[in-house]
Amino acid sequence: MKTIHVDLGDRSYPIFISSDLIASKTAQTLLADSIRGKQVMIVTNETIAPIYLKKVEQLLAHEYQVSSTILPDGESFKNLDTLNQIFTSLLESRHNRTTTLIALGGGVIGDMTGYAAASYQRGVDFIQIPTTLLAQVDSSVGGKTGVNHALGKNMIGAFKQPQSVIIDIDTLQTLDKRQFAAGMAEVIKYGLIWDSEFFKWIEDNIVQLVSRDPDTLQYAIAKSCEIKAAVVAEDETEKGLRAILNLGHTFGHAMETFGNYSTFLHGEAVAAGMVMATDLSERLGWLETGITDRLKKLNQQLNLPNSSPEGMDMDDYINYMSVDKKNLDSDIRLVLLMGLGKAIITTEYDKVVFESTLKDYCS
C-alpha cells in the first residue's frame, strides 16, 4: 500500500493506493478510521453499482446504518436535479449531521457527492473511492466539488475536502479503453507541468501503462497524487499556482463546448489542448523544441487526439476561450511551459503567435 498525505492543516487527509483493496479487511479498517458517526450513504451510478456496490456495502453493514443511492450515469446528469436525489435519499433514510457520504465512482459521482456533503445540513463528512483513472489521479484529490448548470460546466460548487481517498487500482480493469486513455492525459499533464523525470518515465513505461500493469499503474497514480497534493497544499482555493493543473484545459474546454460535450471526452480534449499549449510554448521560444513531438507520440500510443475536432476554426477557439473561468479580465489566460516540468499562468504572450498556432490545429 502506498500512502500520500494531502497537507491542509485541519483539513489534511490521506490517499491510500493499492491493488486488491475494495473488498478487503484493510479497506474496512481504512473506512472505519474515516467515519465518525454511525450512518453511511454510498453514492454511485447504474454502471458501477452492479460491479462494486455490494463489495463496499459488505464492508460497512456490520457496524453502520448503510444506505445507497444509485444515480443515472453520465455528465448530463451532473446537475441540481440529480443532486436533489441525493438529498431526498438522505432525508428519507433520516441521515443526521454525523453521517458520512461515500463517493463510489468516477469524477461525476465524486464531484456531486462532494458537493452534497458540502451542503447537506450545512456540511457532513465524505470519503472518495474513485474508480476511473481520471478520478484516481485528479478529481478525487483537492476538494473541488460541484455540478453543471445549463449555462456552464462546473458553475455551481464548493471546496470540500474528503476525509480520505481510497484507491483500488484493480477497479481500472473494468474501465473501457477510451476512458482509461482519457485519464492518462491527466497523468501526462503532471509530467509536463511539474516533473520532467516523470514525463520521461511515462515515455519509458507507456507499453506497461497501456496494458494496465498494476505495479506500473500504482507508481503512476501515486506520483500524480503526490504532485496534485503538493500543488493543492500550496494553493487550496486556486488563488494562483493551482491553475497550472489546467494545462491544455482552456483549449480543451473550447473543444468540449464546440462538440457539445459529445465529440471528445474531457481527457481527450485535454490531450489535444496540451499539444496546442506545448506547441505554442515552443513557438514562443519558451520551451525546448521536440517536447510537442514527444507528447504527440505518447498521445498516439494511447489513441488520444492531437488536433481539434472536425470543423472547428480559430474564431470558435477565441469565442469559447474568452469565457473561461480562469480569465480575470478580457485577456485569455493560458497555462504555458517555460521548460519541461515548469508551468506558468500568463496573459503575456505574443497574440500573433497564439493565433497562428490555433490556425495550424484547425482543419
Question: Given the rule CB under 6 A, which of 44-52, 59-67, 118-126, 136-144 is the region that contacts ligand GLY?
Answer: 136-144
Length of the chain: 363
Exposure string of 192-216, with b = 16+ CB inside 10 Å and e = fewer, is bbbbeebbebbeebbeebbebeeeb
Listed in sequence order, the residues at least 6 apart from 337 whose beta carbon sits closer than 8 Å to its beta carbon are 192, 193, 247, 277, 278, 281, 286, 287, 291, 343, 344
List % helix, strand, coil for the chain (3-state, nearest 5).
50, 15, 30
Contacts of 210 (CB under 8 A, 6+ apart): 301, 302
Q: Which amino acids are annotated catalytic?
A: 122, 144, 186, 228, 238, 242, 246, 249, 253, 266
In whole angstroms, give the CA distance from residue 111 to residue 86: 13
> Of 49 and 181, which CB lies nearer to ligand GLY in the complex structure?
181
Q: Which residue, 138 or 168, is less far from ligand GLY as judged by CB?
A: 138
Q: Provide the binding-site residues for ligand NAD, judged by CB under 6 A.
A: 45, 47-48, 73, 75, 78, 105-109, 111, 131-132, 134-135, 138-139, 142, 144, 154, 171, 174-175, 179, 182, 266
Binds ligand GLY (CB under 6 A): choice among 107, 114, 130, 142: 142
Looking at 57, 111, 138, 268, which residue binds ligand GLY (CB under 6 A)?
Answer: 138
Closest-by-Cβ residue to ligand NAD is 107
Side chain identity at residue 146, one-letter code: G
CB 42, CB 53: distance < 8 Å:
yes
Instruction: Report, in Å, the least distance between residue 266 CB and ligand NAD.
Output: 5
Non-local (6+) Cβ contacts of 329 within 8 A are: none
At closest approach, how far in Å is the CB of 67 from ligand GLY? 29
Of 138 and 282, which has the nearer Cβ to ligand GLY? 138
* Helix extents (H) in the chain: 25-34, 54-60, 80-92, 107-119, 133-134, 177-194, 196-204, 206-210, 214-234, 249-258, 266-283, 291-302, 314-321, 351-360
**341-360 binders of ligand GLY (CB under 6 A):** none
Return the number of the residue (18 or 171) whose C-beta is nearest ligand NAD.
Answer: 171
Distance, in Å, from the CA atom of 35 to the CA atom of 204, rounded to the nearest integer, reads 40
CB of 100 to ligand GLY, least distance (A): 22
User: 144 or 296: whose CB is closer to ligand GLY?
Assistant: 144
Does 111 engage in binding with ligand GLY (CB under 6 A)? no
Name the phi and psi angles at 64, rounded to 5: -130, 160
Per CB under 6 A, 242 contacts ligand GLY: yes
Least distance (Å) between residue 336 CB and ligand GLY: 17
One-letter amino acid at 319 equals N
**358 touches, from ligand NAD, ligand GLY, none (C-beta below 5 to 8 Å by class):** none
**Nearest position to ligand GLY, beta carbon:** 245
- Least distance from ligand GLY to the Cβ atom of residue 144, Å: 5
Q: Which is nearer to ligand GLY, 223 or 242 (CB)?
A: 242
Which positions lie near ligand GLY, rule CB under 6 A? Answer: 138, 142, 144, 242, 245-246
